[in-house]
Amino acid sequence: MSQPPRTDAPAAGPRRRTGGRSARVMAAVADAVMSELTESGLGAFSIPKVAVRSGVSRSSIYRRWQTKTDLITFAAIHHIEEAIPMPDLGSLRADLLRIVEEVAVFVTQPASKALFAIAFGPNTAESDSVQNALWHMRTERHQAVFDRALARGEISHDTDTGEIIERAIGPIYIRTFLSRRPVTPDFLERLLDGTLPSAPTAKRR
């Protein structure tokens, strides 16, 4: 599947991480967790393996994350936030277009597929936590986009913002995992054409 270009996206390259040593340690641990899950899956996952891969001591990891579930939840959130940062491009349509473009890339990444395998696999503490990270926590972060849209008069107080996100993102998952049809830039534009007018008092810009 071809990856749609981003609207007004910066030049391609790794996202720059900011922060001091603590931030670097947390990023190293998160990357190690996702690499372990991608390569070996949940069944073979262990905190000692993460310690070896990340170069962070086992005791340091256990001080921050007491259980495997805690560690995987942290890494899932970190991966999602790195892959789909919240935009602020001046209009609801522009912000949502950037989000769906990022999601279209996100769902094809091996690390993301490892999270999907956990989320929709056997019912475990890890599956519950990853489901929460993939959807509920993302929905909370999307709220900033809608708060700005409300302040600009693009939506009303009674707009069902959760439904907007469902209508904008759901078809990307369907095309990627079920119909296997391409997610193209034109498709994403049409997706928003069919999503934004359904929101009460939503204004196209």
Residue 25: which pLDDT band, with cuts at 50, 70 and 90? very high
- In angstroms, rounded to a whole number, what is the distance separating the alpha carbons of residues 193 and 191? 5
Q: Which whole-number Å values give the CA distances from 195 to 66, 96, 110, 168, 203, in the listed order?
A: 42, 10, 28, 6, 11
pLDDT tens-digit map of 133-178: 888 777 788 899 999 999 999 999 999 999 999 999 999 999 999 9
Predicted model pTM: 0.81
CB 143 within 8 A of CB 165: no
Fold of 69-198: Tetracycline Repressor; domain 2 (1.10.357)
- Residue-averaged pLDDT of the chain: 87
- In angstroms, rounded to a whole number, what is the distance separating the alpha carbons of residues 132 and 126? 10
pLDDT tens-digit map of 43-84: 999 999 999 999 999 999 999 999 999 999 999 999 999 999
